[in-house]
Structure 1
Amino acid sequence: MTDSNKDKSISSEQVYSEDLDHDNSSIVSRVVNSFKPAAVKPDLDISQMSDLEKANYFASHQPLQQSLKSRHLFWLAIGGVLGSGIFVSSGYNLSIAGPGGLLVGYVIVAYAILCVVLSLAEIATQFTVAGSFISLFGRFLSPAFNWVFGLVYALSWLISLPSELVAIALTIQYWNDSISPSVWVAIFYVLIVVINLFGVKAWGETEFILSIIKVLAVIGFIILGICIICGVGDQGYIGARYWHNPGSFNNGFKGVCSSFISAAFTFGGTELVAIASSETKNPRKSLPKATKQVFWRITLFYIVSAIIIGFLVPSNDDLLLNGSGVSASPFVIAVSNGGIKVVPHIMNAVVLSASFSVGNSCVYGCSRVLASMAVQEQGFLPRIFGYVDRKGRPLVAIIFTCLIGLLGFLVESANEGTVFTWLFSVCSLSSFFTWAAICVTHIRFRRALYIQGRSLDEVIFVSPMGLVGSITGVIILGLIIIAEIWISIWPIGQSASVSTFWQNCLSLPLMIVMWFIYNIYNKSFSPLLIDLKDIDLDSGRRDWDVELLKQELAEERLQYQSKPFYYKLYKFFC
């Protein structure tokens, strides 16, 4: 590669916009100018590229600011999406599946998630796509799958935003139910909008602080929980009392299966770290390291918490099923049953911060996905959604997402629960399909390398679980989807229910219909999958000089091999 081409590869990583930091005009003028569109200057002649190559190029050259630091990505991976799923919804899982069923369900989904994030880390580090990893589906699967999975994934964030606002209002009612919940929805809605309009740095700092709070709270709960189990508190020694009575498993195998959707809601958003990585200065280093932290989050926060909850709260506790809002949280129930007066209020504050954090991430995640889909050549979304201003904000996508957030004011409606149940049905199984698609994408990336005569020597980060992890991940996620369809048709304790099926599985026929709509709109049915020999392995990469990259990676691996075993063990997990 010539020096001029190498220079181009360096400049392609920069954001081409006017330097507002050195603007000497008034503050008002600078604020107004910051909302003007960023001036992107293509650094290559794209006229000879195919449509798919153009899509890959534009997806990796959005003018988003790279303002996030490694510490932001680290804490986002550790505690960024710890939300009401683990703090509140785990109680419903416990009541339906029992402590054993809850633990088994979490372990199965946790293994699948670990396979997913490590597979995603490998391909997202190789092709750091500005805005969203969703465009990788178009590169390695087909444009139709890019559109289907991208829209459904964006919908999952979009619908979660008003839901989290409602959760915030209900959480505050634990302290004061005399004030209308819509007041709290309005206050926190404005806070979320303002934070996201301040840019990715403000969002990153907010998530950094909230993640630390959530992580410390969960660690504190685990320590406190162990103390209560061992006899500290009004109940005396608890031990494994509730595993024997009322029992370890409720509703047998169906109980375990029923915990999968709630577990998916709890684990949802784990892949957000890959979206945020494109707005860091050095994703090649920060993304692999951050994704490895997911192992610790899964083990410490989800698995250990599930074990502690199972020991502390009986699965037939009336509040688990009949409590509302945070009063149904097994965390709050556990410390309340232990006779500890102050801690429930602390846990309620943590649940509040967790819901606010997830709502904040909903705007970030959805806006980046929408903007990424809008700039691609296939026309997945109207171009206006790809508008990025001079501060690197996908402005139209943020505004659109925030407008949908106004649905949070449905908290005043008596039918609020029914409305959100059917809204979530649109993306009920979508998390499992998105995760499975990531694993399939990783498999096809490895196969494309082999078919095109290339090797892992040019792969920046190699997943520790390799192809085995992706294959087993696809199998497990496929079996979970089948299990969810089964219990949706024949719910626990009920006869066959059409309503329950559509509430839990509406996303399945919807995605099939969306796939046909895409092909009909484009007036041609594209192949189900792109031929492996035609997969583009080069355009949009940050490292243009493959031979130089191979040399650098070989040197890094040689240094790694010379390290002692404890260093290798540390690097494997961290």
Structure 2
Amino acid sequence: MSAYNFSSSQERKLSTVFEHLNETNSSLHTSRNLDIDFKSVNELNEGDKVKYEGIKNGDTQVTSGITNSFESESLRDDSKPLENEEKTENQLNRSIKSRHLLMISLGTGIGTGLLVGNGQVLAKSGPAGLVIGYGVASIMVYFIVQAAGELGICYSGLTGNYIRYPSILVDPALGFAISIIYTLQWLTVMPLQLVTAAMTIGYWTNINPNIFVAIVLVIVVLTNCFGAKGYVEAEFLCNIFKVLMMVGFVLLAILINTGAIGTDGYIGTIYWKNPGAFANGFKGVCSVFCYAAFSYGGIEVLALTAAEQENPIKAIPSACKKTVYRILFLYMLTTILIGFLVPYDSPQLMGSTSGGGSHSSPFVIAIASHGVKVVPHLINAVILISIVSVANSAFYSSTRLLLSLSEQGKIPKIFNYVDKEGRPWYCILFASLFGSIGFVASSPYKEEVFTWLLAISGLSQIFLWMSICLSHIRFRRAMIKQGKSLDEIGYKAPTGCWGSWIALSIALFSLISQFWVAIAPIGKDGKLDVLVFFQNYLAAPIVLIAYLGYKTYYKDWRLYIPSDKIDLSYGREIYVPEEQVIVESPPSSIAMNSVIITKSKE
């Protein structure tokens, strides 16, 4: 048995606690004694107190809180909350189960970008350009999810964790800029989904679309009024429908393409030859990246929900590993099939140069244009469910991000209020007001509004992913520089740092490519159009202004925090696989540390 050198008072405290644990363990499991080796533990102070929470599932599990604020050495039962106990940062309810996280990782984000926006991208890039653009983006996304999973485990106790990574691990100014743009992204995604819902319903009826906008908005707000439990249960059901629809579409599309059903016989790659595989050449391919980023947006939500997961140490790694199936099947395969069944010059596509676009989903066009009846209506119905699902996810994410910004002191403290059920009411109210932008759906300029909202969402997603990669690289560098063992990481990204470097490089290339498309837009004969530039690159100046504004206000002109100065104890959980020991160090604003020690069954 190895141990740290503790003072005599510390040894007495630990001895008392472990004697109590051995007695409890003996009463629950005959003749079993605890044998705990300390691999890592924060220094205990004279007034520290260790509290025991319980033993469950046949494993001896101890959760200990070390704080200077208790009056006595007696053990406190934490199964019941203290009356009038003030809510702190970590008191969002942990109500997200593994089954929820699996469906979140598979289906969340499958909505406007993939199901509707891809029609606009196909018209600009052609089928080959669409596949190449999504293929490159898919490589980037896979590496990003692994990095987000590793950091999500390490900082699972931080609300809105991945917008806080840059502030802790890279630079506070970068963290502030990313926090602002990413929160703005999710706030704008909500009305974007409402506008898209109105477009989708337009496939059936010409009734005033604002009626449906109001209905969807009320549904989403009421769902989130039930807290995290309401959000995840709604997402679970919606994502089941989405995944089943995607599976059904793949099977049906293959049958149509091979001539087994439909009115056009064997199709094969005919649309890759006429009108062609590419539209607008290499620039068309470059135009895909921003749309692909928007389509993949939300894939990192599995890390954002860490603070409300029952068992993030098991759920997040499992979800990260399954992400590859979502990328290959739900995105790449469906993108290829869309290119086989819909020509890029189809007048029905949004953004078509032929005019008369119906704003219909390319998934619906792919089935309906080949003589298949009824099914397009079913697909359109599931697409509508998917859009509502993404609106729900956007609403949830934006409220948690607002809560995180408030906890960091970056927006008014009123947004920091969380009730006993874990609901941030003022954040919910603000997000609801922002969602009212969706009532522009009845305007004749709804497609322009769609483009503006998409401009903020797509590019800001790339900025977030870059910050996750930078944070992961700096985290690993700080661990090495400060002599920390990588065994302290609960989930080590299988792609390591090199995966983050590759993803970061692709993200930078995407930004440069999008800048080229913005200053020499497609369809403008390569001439600069200020309006089109900001429609394509609006997020970049927002990030730059926020970054420089922070630097100027705080007069902190360092480019980044040196590796040996990064505070690796801030909010981080330390996990040692050999003995399953977790040491959690909450933010310094809370005078508390936690030690979680788990001894597995033999």
Band of TM-score, shorter chain: 0.7 to 0.9
CA distance in 2, matches of 1:324, 1:38: 57
Q: Which residue of 2 aligns with 1:39?
A: 86
Residue of structure 2 aligned with 1:62, choices 86, 90, 93: 90
Judge conservation of contact 2:403–2:424 (CA < 8 Å) in 1.
yes
Could you report, residue by residue, the CA deviation over 1:228-254 in whole angstroms, capped at 9, with x for unpaired residues?
A: 111121000111111111111111111
Say if 1:344 and 1:447 are closer, same or farther in 2 by CA, change over 3 A: same
Deviation at 1:416, TM superposition (A): 3.5
Question: In proportion to residue count, which structure has more helix?
Answer: 1
Q: What SS is found at the alignment partner of 1:332?
A: helix
Q: Which residue of 1 aligns with 2:337?
A: 308
Residue of structure 2 aligned with 1:452, choices 462, 479, 482: 482
CA distance in 2, matches of 1:218, 1:345: 14
CA distance in 1, matches of 2:473, 2:546: 24
Deviation at 1:426, TM superposition (A): 4.2
Say if 1:326 and 1:191 are closer, same or farther in 2 by CA, change over 3 A: same
Q: Which residue of 2 aligns with 1:337?
A: 369
Tell me the TM-score normalized by structure 2: 0.80
Say if 1:550 and 1:192 are closer, same or farther in 2 by CA, change over 3 A: closer
Q: Which residue of 2 aligns with 1:516?
A: 548
Deviation at 1:548, TM superposition (A): 4.6
For residues 105-116 of structure 1, what are the structure 2 equivalents within 5 Å? 105-116=133-144
**Identity percentage of aligned residues:** 40
Say if 1:120 and 1:325 are closer, same or farther in 2 by CA, change over 3 A: farther
Q: Which residue of 1 aligns with 2:20?
A: none
Could you report, residue by residue, the CA deviation over 1:244-294 in whole angstroms, capped at 9, with x for unpaired residues?
A: 111111111111001111111111111111111221111011011112221
Say if 1:341 and 1:424 are closer, same or farther in 2 by CA, change over 3 A: closer
Say if 1:371 and 1:551 are closer, same or farther in 2 by CA, change over 3 A: closer
Judge conservation of contact 2:487–2:576 (CA < 8 Å) in 1.
no
Deviation at 1:542, TM superposition (A): 3.8
Tell me the TM-score normalized by structure 1: 0.84
Figure out how many residues of one structure are paired with residues of the other and give that number: 511
Judge conservation of contact 1:241–1:311 (CA < 8 Å) in 2.
yes
CA distance in 1, matches of 2:421, 2:227: 7
CA distance in 2, matches of 1:109, 1:211: 22
Could you report, residue by residue, the CA deviation over 1:27-82 in whole angstroms, capped at 9, with x for unpaired residues?
A: xxxxxxxxx997237xxxxxxxxxxxxxxxxxxx4310001100000000001111
Q: Which residue of 2 aligns with 1:229?
A: 257
Q: After superposing the two structures, state which structure 1 stretch, 417-426 or 189-198, moved more.
A: 417-426
Judge conservation of contact 2:489–2:574 (CA < 8 Å) in 1.
no
CA distance in 2, matches of 1:434, 1:544: 26
Residue of structure 2 aligned with 1:397, choices 416, 427, 435: 427
CA distance in 2, matches of 1:504, 1:37: 50
Q: What SS is found at the alignment partner of 1:10?
A: strand
Say if 1:7 and 1:309 are closer, same or farther in 2 by CA, change over 3 A: same
CA distance in 2, matches of 1:515, 1:521: 10
Judge conservation of contact 1:37–1:389 (CA < 8 Å) in 2.
no
Question: Amino acid of the residue matched to residue 194 of structure 1?
Answer: L
CA distance in 1, matches of 2:279, 2:341: 16
CA distance in 1, matches of 2:396, 2:159: 10
CA distance in 1, matches of 2:130, 2:486: 39
2:383 equivalent to 1:351: yes
2:586 equivalent to 1:539: no
Deviation at 1:418, TM superposition (A): 3.4
Residue of structure 2 aligned with 1:261, choices 283, 286, 290: 290
Judge conservation of contact 1:129–1:135 (CA < 8 Å) in 2.
no
CA distance in 2, matches of 1:269, 1:323: 32
Say if 1:427 and 1:230 are closer, same or farther in 2 by CA, change over 3 A: closer
Judge conservation of contact 1:428–1:504 (CA < 8 Å) in 2.
no
Could you report, residue by residue, the CA deviation over 1:191-249 in whole angstroms, capped at 9, with x for unpaired residues?
A: 11110011111111100000000000001000011111111210001111111111111
Q: Which residue of 2 aligns with 1:172?
A: 201
Residue of structure 1 aligned with 2:395, choices 348, 363, 377: 363
Judge conservation of contact 2:489–2:575 (CA < 8 Å) in 1.
no
Say if 1:38 and 1:180 are closer, same or farther in 2 by CA, change over 3 A: farther
Consecutive unaligned residues in structure 2, runs of 5 or more:
5-13, 18-47, 53-61, 67-76, 584-599
Q: Which residue of 1 aligns with 2:70?
A: none
Q: Which residue of 2 aligns with 1:555?
A: none
Q: What SS is found at the alignment partner of 2:308?
A: coil
CA distance in 2, matches of 1:416, 1:227: 35
Deviation at 1:305, TM superposition (A): 0.4
For residues 50-89 of structure 1, what are the structure 2 equivalents within 5 Å? 61-89=89-117
Q: Which residue of 1 aligns with 2:192?
A: 163
CA distance in 2, matches of 1:87, 1:547: 45
Deviation at 1:92, TM superposition (A): 1.5
Question: Amino acid of the residue matched to residue 103 of structure 1?
Answer: V
Deviation at 1:424, TM superposition (A): 4.4
Deviation at 1:387, TM superposition (A): 1.2
Judge conservation of contact 2:145–2:320 (CA < 8 Å) in 1.
yes
Deviation at 1:173, TM superposition (A): 2.4
CA distance in 2, matches of 1:547, 1:302: 38
Deviation at 1:479, TM superposition (A): 0.8
Could you report, residue by residue, the CA deviation over 1:423-444 in whole angstroms, capped at 9, with x for unpaired residues?
A: 4444552111110110111111
